[in-house]
Amino acid sequence: DTGVSQNPRHKITKRGQNVTFRCDPISEHNRLYWYRQTLGQGPEFLTYFQNEAQLEKSRLLSDRFSAERPKGSFSTLEIQRTEQGDSAMYLCASSLTGGRVTDTQYFGPGTRLTVL
């Protein structure tokens, strides 16, 4: 069990550019979550996948944001036409959910995005 990994760890971009982040969950986990965390706040839910299906999206996820999990393994989060307000830590988490298993989410180290 190598844990949840995220790449890159840091990303600095100019306003208007597109960025893409990657998350590799714990291998047997069927659920994958994306969160955004701004300074002084707790994580805010963006979206989640069960296997390859995207089951829920937050109203925070504007049309500039898109997430995929094409084979039910790793996931990508893309932000198009970045704005300074997108600057935040983007966290990924995964869990094994189903049956009588209690959902516990395991978090990756996050990708810190700075939009100049």
Partner 1 sequence: AQSVTQLGSHVSVSEGALVLLRCNYSSSVPPYLFWYVQYPNQGLQLLLKYTSAATLVKGINGFEAEFKKSETSFHLTKPSAHMSDAAEYFCAVSASGGSYIPTFGRGTSLIVHP
Q: Does 98 bind partner 1 (CB under 8 A)?
A: no
Region of residue 71 (left: phi > 0; alpha: psi -120 to 50; beta: else): alpha
Beta carbon of residue 84, minimum distance to partner 1 (angstroms, whole number): 21
Beta carbon of residue 34, minimum distance to partner 1 (angstroms, whole number): 11
Q: Which of 19, 110, 113, 115 binds partner 1 (CB under 8 A)?
A: 110
Q: Which one-letter DSSP state was computed for residue 85?
A: G
Q: Which of 4, 32, 77, 115 binds partner 1 (CB under 8 A)?
A: 4
Can you tell me the distance from the alpha carbon of 22 to that of 8, in angstroms, rounded to the nearest whole number? Answer: 7
Which listed range, 13-21, 60-68, 75-83, 106-114, lies at the site for partner 1 (CB under 8 A)?
106-114
Can you tell me the distance from the alpha carbon of 49 to that of 97, in angstroms, rounded to the nearest whole number? Answer: 11
Beta carbon of residue 58, minimum distance to partner 1 (angstroms, whole number): 9
Q: Return the structure tokens found at 101.
A: 């298993």
Can you tell me the distance from the alpha carbon of 101 to that of 85, in angstroms, rounded to the nearest whole number? Answer: 37
Q: Which positions from 20 through 79 interact with partner 1, judged by CB under 8 A?
A: 33, 40-45, 48, 55-56
